[in-house]
Amino acid sequence: MVERPVAAPRRKPPDATSHSALVTVIRTLTTSQSAEQRELQKTRLEKEFKESQKQIDKLVKDHKKDVDECLVAFRDVSTQISSCRQRIYNVRSTLSNCRGLLQSRRDDLKKLWEEDKQHRHVAQIMQQLEELREVKHKVDLLIEQKDHFEAAKLIAQSRDLIETRLSSINGLSQLRNQLADSSEALAKRIETQLAQMVVQEPFDFHMIDVVRGMPESWLGESELTLRLSGKLNQQRQLQGSVLSTRIQSHLAALSVLDGAHGVVERLLALSATQISKQVSESISLMRQKAAHDENLHGNDKSHLAQLIQMVVCQLESSRSAHAVLAECAGKIPQIGVEASQKVLPAFWYAAQSAVESLVSDHLDIASGSRQSDQSTSLRSITTQLFRFDAASYSLGSSFASPSSQASLTVCPPSPFNIVPMYPWLRRLMEAVEAATGVQMCQLRRFVHSFVMEMFVERVKTNLEERLIEALKLDDSRLITSGDSPILTSTERVADLCREVHELIVQMDSYAHRFAAIWVLVLTEYATHITQLYEKTTSPPMDGDSATRRKISSAVWAADEDISRLLMSLPNWILANSTQGTSPNSATQTPANMESEREVRDRNERESEILISNLGTQKQIERSELLGDNSDIRTLAALHESLRWFSYELRVLINSLPAKVRNSLRECKVTVKHGVDGRVGNDEAVLTALEEVISRLEGVSSKCLLVLHLELRVHCFYHLLPLARLRPSSHEDTDPEVVELGRDLQMFHSLLSTYLSPPKMRYIFDGLGHLCASIFIHSSQHMQRLTEVTRKRVSRNIWGVQQRLAQITARREAELDRARNFFELLAYDPDELLCVLADRLSQFSPIELNHLVALSVRSHPTLSSQRGVLDEKLSQLRQMLKR
């Protein structure tokens, strides 16, 4: 093993002491001025130098072997370095030769590179052309996958490629046209689908609800029901982010296709067409439903109300979809906010036009214009108002005139069809005006023109004609309403009032016009009723229809003082205590609400009133009585009918919405008063209605009061003549009493058919007291009372009492008082005064005077003596004072 040379140890640096000594020496030599000192330092340096030399020689001697080895190694390294330098030179020479060779081939390589570049470009163009040929197929696949955005993006990229990089290539016109056709077809498809999203889908959703309620056998009858039935199980996609995402995607696709130029205008045109089409389909669907509904008649308007409700709901859903469309369009930079703001106004314009067409077809405006009595100029204005075929907004055949196509309707056209449609039309009009900010929208102008210029007059004419027909009806046949028989004419007029009430409620915007017609109808009816009452209570005299005389009971009822006194009595109040409730109510006021004392007091008051008026008459003529049975029935039927009618009217008025009632309080109307038709001042409509109802209630009260008084007039008519002296004596009841009984029975038989039990009690209660008072009062007209006469009077009293008891099912004890009155005449005057001392409470002071006076006149001796009567009456007065 060859030993490697060992490197000589490195010299250690001198320590700090030697360095400092050297520095000290140098400083001494340079700064010292003494030569000796410099010599001393020089000597020292020489000495140290010699020592160092010796040390170096020693070290070299000791390491000689190592030094030799280092020199040999140095020579080897130097030789190798020289060899490397030679090789490097050779490489440089070779590289120089290569560079020369490469320089000579550069032009050839550049030419080849350029040719290769051209070949690659041609290959790329060929590939692009091949891809362009596949664009149509790829677009169709994307459309089938409903990826319209990618399809639009592919078409846009292909179009940009042809117009830019491939624009200089000839012969691409076919591909260019193919791309243009695909772009146009895709744009139309997207626009159509957008129109379906915002119109057809909202409309179909509501029509599907109708189809869902149809039997399966109906669904195959039309293409429409087949199409809708196929969507029954589809999920609605009209709300939330689903619709917004779909619309956003389609709008983005359109913006990629053509920059969305004119997209909003085209969409709005398609939307208007779709709205018209969908409204027509809604009509067709409702026509099919109405055709199968066997429960309704052909002129039933319920399907029309369902139709207009469905159309309004469809338009509201479509409006929401259009709002989403406008919002999404505003987010597309290519469309902009300004264009998106046109969406909703254009939608409402098209919606109003479609609804106008639907309403116009169902209102039979053309026929109504021909039947109108308006002037030629007004008819011209009306025709222009309601024609759509010449309008600038007409779209398709839906707005054609009636002469150009058959109108689709779900019921026969009639101006009265506006009534079931108006509530939903008003909702739509309010929505339009709230959305557009206009005070009166196009649809409201249309409806307002129709209602004010045609419908109100048609309603007025129709009601007047039907009122005339109702008043001409034969009221001999009655209609039973609940427990009360009602005149046929009254029932018909009540139906007219219900129709007007429905018009006011359904079309409250025109409540003042219909309420004025209502006042007119009621005024005419009240006039007719007043005339009928006057005719009934003023029968012709001696068969001469031109000469009439008012019956006594009617004269009394017309007297304000007498009628007010009679109506203030408790029996009148009790009989009419149910006026504020339903006349057919089963709850009746019990007769025993009055005590016996109260009954006697009011009977006495009534008898006093009647005797003070009729008892002083010498004789009542037969012509002053109501003897015709038909007149009695008429008064009874009038009372119940007018009472029922007034109640129905108040129910109708009270059922009006508060808003309508408030408006009618502010609305003024001119009313004709009385039979003479004099014009009164302007009054609030509700006040006018209340006055007419009060007039009818007044006539009703008069009818009842006349019947009440008529029976009492009959009592006076038959009983007062009994006070006259009869030449013959017999054991039978006088014929006047028998005739009175027949009259009472006739009245009871006739009135019980018409009047309620409280009214019957009002009419017949108190007759016993009155008859007793008449018997007693008539005693003052008797010159003398014999035993035979006294028995005859007792028989007559008993006959009246028996007949009244049969009718009222009560004993009529008041007639016992009359019989006791005449039985007391069996005593002579002195005995009579003694007997009366204990029986003063049975008779009034006037009746006691009549009793004592007749007793004196009937005495064979005292009747001829002067002063006896005054003496006996004075004794009676003294007794009464005690």
The reply to whether 853 falls in a domain is yes
Tell me, what's the pLDDT at 7? 55
269-322 pLDDT, tens per residue?
A: 998 999 999 999 999 888 888 887 755 454 567 889 999 999 999 999 999 988
Percent of the chain with pLDDT over 70: 80
- Do 227 and 320 belong to one domain? yes
**Same domain? 332 vs 472:** no
Task: Please give the structure tokens belonging to residue 66.
Answer: 């190592």
End residue of a domain, out of 363, 393, 413: 363
pLDDT attached to residue 616: 62
Average pLDDT (236-260) is 71
Which region among 116-120, 646-650, 758-762, 816-820 has the lowest average model confidence (pLDDT)?
116-120
The answer to whether residue 182 sits within a structural domain is: no
- On whether both 229 and 345 belong to a single domain, the answer is yes
Local structure of residue 514 (DSSP, 8 states) = H
Supply the range of the domain harboring residue 698: 440-541+627-720
442-462 per-residue burial string, b: 16 or more CB within 10 A, e: under 16: bbbebbeebbebbbbbbbbee
Residue 535 lies in a domain: yes
Is beta strand 540-541 parallel, antiparallel or unpaired with respect to 478-481? unpaired
Residue 332: per-residue pLDDT: 78
Both 473 and 531 in one domain: the answer is yes
What is the pLDDT averaged over residues 81-110?
85
In a domain, 33, yes or no: no
pLDDT tens column, 711-730: 989 998 888 888 776 655 56
Residue 228 resides in a domain = yes
Q: State how far the alpha carbon of 740 is from the alpha carbons of 237, 629, 747, 771, 804, in Å.
A: 86, 15, 10, 11, 10
- What rounded mean pLDDT belongs to the chain? 79
**Predicted pLDDT at 393:** 32
209 lies in a domain?
yes
* CATH number, domain with residue 680: 1.10.357.50
Clarify whether residues 330 and 446 are in a common domain: no
Least confident of 142-146, 494-498, 828-832: 142-146
473 with 533, same domain: the answer is: yes
CA distance 276 to 710: 71
The pLDDT, as a whole number, for residue 69 is 85
pLDDT greater at residue 100 or residue 713:
713
pLDDT band for position 352 (cuts 50, 70, 90): very high
Helix axes 302-330 and 418-436, enclosed angle (nearest 10): 10
Q: CB count, 10 Å around CB of 751?
A: 20
Q: Mark whether 193 and 323 lie in a shared domain.
A: yes
pLDDT in tens, 161-212: 666 666 656 656 667 777 777 777 778 888 888 888 888 888 988 888 888 8
Are 147 and 127 contacting, i.e. CB atoms less than 8 angstroms apart? no
Q: How confident is the model at residue 464 (pLDDT cuts 50, 70, 90)?
A: very high
Q: Residue 878: which pLDDT band, with cuts at 50, 70 and 90?
A: confident
Question: How high is the pLDDT of residue 279?
Answer: 92
Task: Evaluate if pTM is beyond 0.95.
Answer: no
pLDDT, average across residues 647-669: 88
252 and 330 inside one domain: yes
Contact 314, 321 (CB under 8 A): no
For residue 481, name the pLDDT band (cuts at 50, 70, 90): low
Q: Are residues 196 and 338 in the same domain?
A: yes
434/348 Cα distance (integer angstroms): 11
700 and 777 part of one domain: no
pLDDT score recorded for residue 394: 34
CB burial of residue 72 (10 Å; 0-12, 13-18, 19+): exposed
**Assigned domain for 146 exists:** no
The answer to whether residues 207 and 296 belong to one domain is yes
User: Which of 317, 336, 363 is where one domain is finished?
Assistant: 363
Q: Which residue has the higher pLDDT, 248 or 237?
A: 248
How many domains are contained in the chain? 3
H/E segment holding residue 669: strand 668-673
- Is 69 within a domain? no
Domain identity same for 691 and 771? no
Q: Give the domain-ending residue among 339, 363, 387.
A: 363
Closest to 161 measured CA to CA, from 137, 125, 186: 125
Which pLDDT tens digit goes with each residue over 362-411? 887 765 554 544 433 333 333 333 333 333 333 333 333 333 334 678 88
Asked which of 7-16, 621-630, 632-641, 830-839 is least confident by mean pLDDT, the reply is 7-16
